[in-house]
Amino acid sequence: MALRNVSKGFRSSTGQDVNPDLGIERKTASFSVERLTNILDGGAENTQIRRKVDAVLQSDPEFSRENKYFLSQNERYEGAVRRSLYLSKKTEEMGWAADGPELKYCYRALGDDLAFSVHNVFMKSILGLGTDEQIAKWIPLAEKHYIAGTYAQTELGHGTYLRGLETMATFDVTTQEFILNTPKISAMKWWPGDLGRTATHAVVFAQLYLKGKCYGIHPFIVQIRSLQDHSPAPGVTVGDIGPKMDFAQSDNGYLMLKNVRVPKENMLARFSQVLSEGQYVKRGTDKINYLTMIVVRVAIIRTEVLNTLMKACTIAIRYSVVRRQSELKPGDPEPKILDYQTQQQKLLPQLATAYAFHFGCDYLQEIFDQGYAETKQGKFDLLPELHALASGIKVFTTEYSSAGAEICRRACGGHGYSLLSGLPSLYTKLVASCTYEGENTVLLLQTARFLIKCFGTAKARQPLPSSVAYLSSTSPGKCRAQEKRDFLNPDVYTEAYKQRAFRMVENAAIKLQTLIQSGTAQHEAWNLCSVQLARAAAAHSHYIIVQNFVKALEKFEKEFHIQRILKHLCDLFALHGIFSNMGDFLQASHLSGKQSDMVTESYLDLLAVIRQDAVPLVDAFDFSDADLNSAIGCYDGHAYERLFEWAKKSPTNNQDNQTFEKYLKPLFQNALSKL
């Protein structure tokens, strides 16, 4: 059988000959794939705009990522810089607004292969923390890439714990300058992206000292390289931290400062400032330093985490209907591996999770928009809840998505281990998200601190923020399910999640209080309860996601087929969570042993239901072949042909074999007279 020509597999293959095993899956969709795509995009108009942007990018060879998996680290970095600057020119050429939807879709398509990702955080920090005058000075320069910025917060010895940062900024009243120093090696800035080889400026977070007194962490704009020859500025030591697990295109760096002076107006001063005589003026709350991190966390959950999980599901599910293996019934043809319940149990919960996270992101974005607007007006009441929500949901989505991508990779067998599948890169990208913008365990404990405080507020019968209102309204109760189909009632499983979250928060709070009352120091008591506190925060975040997936279903009451498939996904997500954490639900005494068996039966029944729509459900994500960059996940389903075509492009297949000449030839020639 002749191999198909799939050399143009980086373009959308919608119009090409489709593998029959994949094509038949699309003919039996129980809902409108196009309508579901529109919902995920936030409307048909957005879908149209996104597809137009994709068409522009895919028709321009400058944006091609062909042969990406064969490039060196330096080639990846150089290509990312070139592509990013070309995108800026393309944006002007197309008339796309800086705050318009088109750029968002460009980043959706090209994000892994662009530079300046932290340059954007640099700008967001100025927009969020700077005065109007500072914004007017720095943002136009940054937007045009006349300067390149980075966000220098993390240090070699400190990350998420901002109060522990050691970089110092001392105000010199005589010269009206701040003097920045790295007092010891652990204070060296370490990890900021765009710092290693690119940035000319940095927003540096440092402890502010005025007349010998420390006023805590504050942000300063510091020039770190010359705009003429890119050499380090006086007193600056800067470089690249070396190879990483992934993100070869990103130049993560280190930064040391020795008596580096910046003018007084370089301290970002929307919420605090230093007067010329050295007096400190504060507006707002100390928690404002978390604002930029909240902004970034909310953004990465959708753009980096959710989209990556969706891609992994798309690749693995498409491959699982073109891959045939073994026998289900003796004598029959080999079945599609997605017909095995074990394969369904691996992949379909990940698919349901992706949809759950989509609606969870919508909820978080709504709360964030409200909180951010209030903060810009000098109102900070919503900030603690927003920080707790963003932290908890960041942890929950990154943990589940990274685990999900690895499940997808392993579900594709040996081919999932090949970089050409696209899956290893998705996994290593997601694993990084468990650490950057807040290490997950630390974030869970920050969310837990908010929950414990709110639990005390509830006991005092004081009003609570909306996301934790259940802490004052929940009373112990038994699950009312009588048979397995009762667990397909959202009220039943939402109540189970609420009871679980409440009990875990309550138990952690009681243990914490008991230890303190017995004479244990508060910090020690907190440490002794930290495992339970972290698990309580995770249970709370899980409840928030389930609750908001259920609420989202109400929007589609007039669209029977759409609501039905989303309801199936919601049911599967919720029941998979109970199935996987059954001990929590039994320990809370909400479920009985018999009811746990009902959950298992309903959960497994749902796998077969969603199996029938698995391919249409990933098609609704609407990733082009160029977006996926996967030999085994393309729309046409010709996985084997594409794997072979791409493998032939490996540079090792077109290079002289010096290893043979140097080492192997003498050995092999010994066999000539013996064979």
How does DSSP classify residue 231?
P
CB distance 422 to 309 below 8 Å: no
Q: Say if residues 528 and 581 touch (Cβ distance below 8 Å).
A: no
Cβ-based neighbour number of residue 191 at 10 Å: 20
Q: Return the structure tokens found at 375.
A: 């903060």
Q: How many CB atoms lie within 10 A of CB 43?
A: 11
Q: Which two tokens stand for residue 121?
A: 């955080």
**Three-state secondary-structure class, residue 369:** helix
**Residues 6 or more apart from 456 whose CB is under 8 A from it?**
509
Contacts of 53 (CB under 8 A, 6+ apart): 102, 105, 106, 109
Active-site annotation holds for 334:
no
For residues 606 and 568, the answer to whether their CB atoms sit within 8 Å is yes
- Residue 421 in contact with residue 631, Cβ under 8 Å? yes
Strand 168-172, strand 201-210: pairing: parallel
- Contacts of 374-379 with CB under 8 Å at 24 or more apart are 375/284, 375/288, 375/291, 378/283, 378/284
> And the tokens for 18?
């489709």
- Of 166, 304, 437, 641, which is the active-site residue? 437
CB-based contact 68:113 (threshold 8 Å): yes
The answer to whether the CB of 585 falls within 8 A of the CB of 496 is yes
Are 256 and 157 in contact by the 8 Å Cβ rule? The answer is no
Which residues neighbour 444 within 8 Å (Cβ) at sequence distance 6 or greater?
A: 391, 392, 395, 533, 534, 537, 538
Q: Which residues are catalytic?
A: 437
